[in-house]
Structure 1
Amino acid sequence: MQVFNKSKDLQKQINALKTKNYTIGFVPTMGALHQGHLSLVQSALQENDFVLVSIFVNPTQFDNPEDLNKYPRTLERDVNLLKTVSNQLLVYAPTVDDIYENTVTSKHFDFNGLEHEMEGKFRAGHFDGVGTVVKKLLEIVKPDKAFFGEKDFQQLQIIKTLVKKNNIPVTIIGCDIYREPNGLAMSSRNERLSESARNEASFIYKTLQQAKIYFGTKSANEVVKWVEKQFSNNKTLELEYFTIADETNLKPVKRKSKSKTYRAFIAVYTENIRLIDNIALN
């Protein structure tokens, strides 16, 4: 498995593959890899001749410096984990300087208002940071397809908008949420949870599943109030937000329409660790 730290070396290898008409799949990550990431890599391998995995903890998408400092950096472990999937992968593990050169700042993006909903209300500048690094990575890698998990569904919609607005020639593929046996959406943050908190956090997905059932017969507002009540009665999980939104524009639903698709989004704190999840409702 080849691991590249510099974009110029990586691009030389990618250009050599493209001259032979090989297709390139891309899975961008921030490392601390788990089975959810590996499922993205497996999807990419099924659809492309070669797959590149980037491992880069992007400083510009953290609104909390403490969160950035605590984010696990486990490159050697990550590479060994990727080897269990395939030895034919390419890995790009750049330094901050290789991505940002001398200026570690975000560009400002207009994502048609998607950036102001949900996560955007609670994480100032987050999606500018995401847009900045994803655009840079796509320009470096020039993949045919890039694969993102639906756990970050808002981010997925924003990246699709980024690609469309900037005419970047890549197909963005959304992949199903990979869950732990108890239903908790798999995340690198889960490793920081105590065993009891990890077990208790299964309540998040159970509540989403019940909300989906209720959405079939109740109004969006009634479902939101029901979810808020469930968490007000929970002593270990603190609800930050629960929203039912139109999948296309991410606007909160006021009145249901049979012609639209909806999704429920949630953010919860436990042990000062923030967990997010979502579920398709129809």
Structure 2
Amino acid sequence: MIADSELPPSSIPIFTTLAALRKWRNAAFAEGKSVGFVPTMGALHKGHLSLVHHSLVQNDLTVVSIFVNPTQFAPHEDLSSYPRTLPQDLDALSTLRGPSKRTPSAIFLPSVDVMYPSSAKDGAQLQTGAFVEVKGIGEVMEGRSRPAFFRGVATVVTKLFNAVQPSHAYFGQKDIQQALLLRRMVADLLLAYPTEQTLHVIPTTRSSVPGDCELALSSRNAYLTPEERVYAPTLYSALQAAERAWNEGRPKAHAVRAAVGVLETEALAANDAGVKMRLDYVEMNDPWTFDIINDAETMNSGEGRAFILSGAMWVGKTRLIDNILLGDSGKILY
């Protein structure tokens, strides 16, 4: 458990225990106030702050959690090196202002033993105790590349929802499969806080910095070297090429090939510049089942539907993901 004496200074109340958070939440219930919630793993950037701002606009009170969740990292992944920037995170949150000068109301900063009380002794893998799985849709797309990932995400977010009991929760489009899987989870588990309708997906925030303009903001972008950042926006450019082909009425297979072609061309240029870049996948999926779309599907045959066009690639040792929503994105972003 984190001792209060170890915490950086903060103008926002910080709760490190479940008891303190629940006392605060019960007071909000008693006062009839709505509570918005933004779960994060810290290393906050403008994308996170956009989610918090949406909550400030729509709710009386806003809670932000900061917890690097060990159960969503595979043994070979970057748990130990994941960026931890708590003092800077607290400073960034303290400067946010919403309507009527609203600011974040509370920060939930639990330790591993708070979040995993029966399995904290097991270390980073935490393989004992209760876990949540969303069968059938957690093993495709990102789940195929990261088999343990969504089990860990579903588990920790269920715990956080039970702890905070938010009126509304906010997630970014960049992690679209995660957000939609969680919508499915809250519906399947009959959660009251939040519901499927009050779990919001907010459009991706992108960089405006010259050189990596339109790169989806991510905490893992901090791993990129200056040379690698030059090539990091390639994934979004490739997805845009696929989007153009799709909007021209080309079949899905042609659209995917257009994206792959951009990535392969840029990978050659990157390699010549000493930057290793390789494609993980580009695919189109149904946003409800995550089934792969038929290669012959076109914009016209899928009229009135929504689709996820997504991809992942490695730039150096950093894995980047991105996506574009095709069709009626209003069915997803709300």
* TM bucket, shorter chain: over 0.9
| Alignment match, 2:53 | 42
**Offset at 1:66?**
4.3
Letter in 1 for 2:205: Y
| Alignment match, 1:93 | 109
Distance 1:107 1:243, change over 3 A: farther
CA distance in 2, matches of 1:88, 1:174: 19
TM-score (norm 2): 0.81
**Offset at 1:108?**
5.0
**Offset at 1:167?**
1.0
Q: Could you list the per-position Cα deviations for residues 101-129 of structure 1 after superposition, in whole angstroms to 9, with x for gaps in the alignment?
A: 13133755453521121111110111110
CA distance in 2, matches of 1:114, 1:127: 9
CA distance in 1, matches of 2:80, 2:104: 32
CA distance in 1, matches of 2:321, 2:214: 13
CA distance in 1, matches of 2:63, 2:44: 14
Distance 1:213 1:153, change over 3 A: same
Where 1:117 maps in the other structure, the secondary structure is: coil
CA distance in 1, matches of 2:167, 2:232: 37
CA distance in 1, matches of 2:251, 2:136: 25
CA distance in 2, matches of 1:183, 1:152: 16
Matches within 5 A, 1:222-233: 222-233=254-265
Q: Could you list the per-position Cα deviations for residues 35-82 of structure 1 after superposition, in whole angstroms to 9, with x for gaps in the alignment?
A: 000000000111100000000000000114441111011111111110
Structure 2: state its 5+ residue gaps.
1-11, 98-102, 120-125, 271-276, 328-334
| Alignment match, 1:27 | 38
- May I ask how many residue pairs the two structures share in their alignment? 282
Give identity over the alignment, percent.
35
Letter in 1 for 2:316: E
Distance 1:88 1:267, change over 3 A: closer
| Alignment match, 1:258 | 303
Q: Could you list the per-position Cα deviations for residues 192-241 of structure 1 after superposition, in whole angstroms to 9, with x for gaps in the alignment?
A: 11122112111211221121110122111112122222222223321100
Where 1:258 maps in the other structure, the secondary structure is: coil
Contact in 2 for aligned 1:107/1:128 (Cα 8 Å): no
Letter in 1 for 2:319: R
| Alignment match, 2:235 | 204
When Rg is computed on C-alpha atoms for both structures, the one with the higher figure is 2
Letter in 1 for 2:320: L
TM-score (norm 1): 0.96
- Root mean square deviation of aligned Cα: 1.5
| Alignment match, 1:270 | 315
Matches within 5 A, 1:175-254: 175-181=202-208, 182-216=213-247, 217-233=249-265, 234-235=267-268, 236=270, 237-254=277-294
CA distance in 2, matches of 1:65, 1:15: 40
Letter in 2 for 1:138: F
**Offset at 1:17?**
1.6
CA distance in 1, matches of 2:107, 2:188: 28
| Alignment match, 2:149 | 126
Distance 1:110 1:6, change over 3 A: closer
Structure 1: state its 5+ residue gaps.
none
Letter in 2 for 1:247: P
Distance 1:129 1:88, change over 3 A: closer
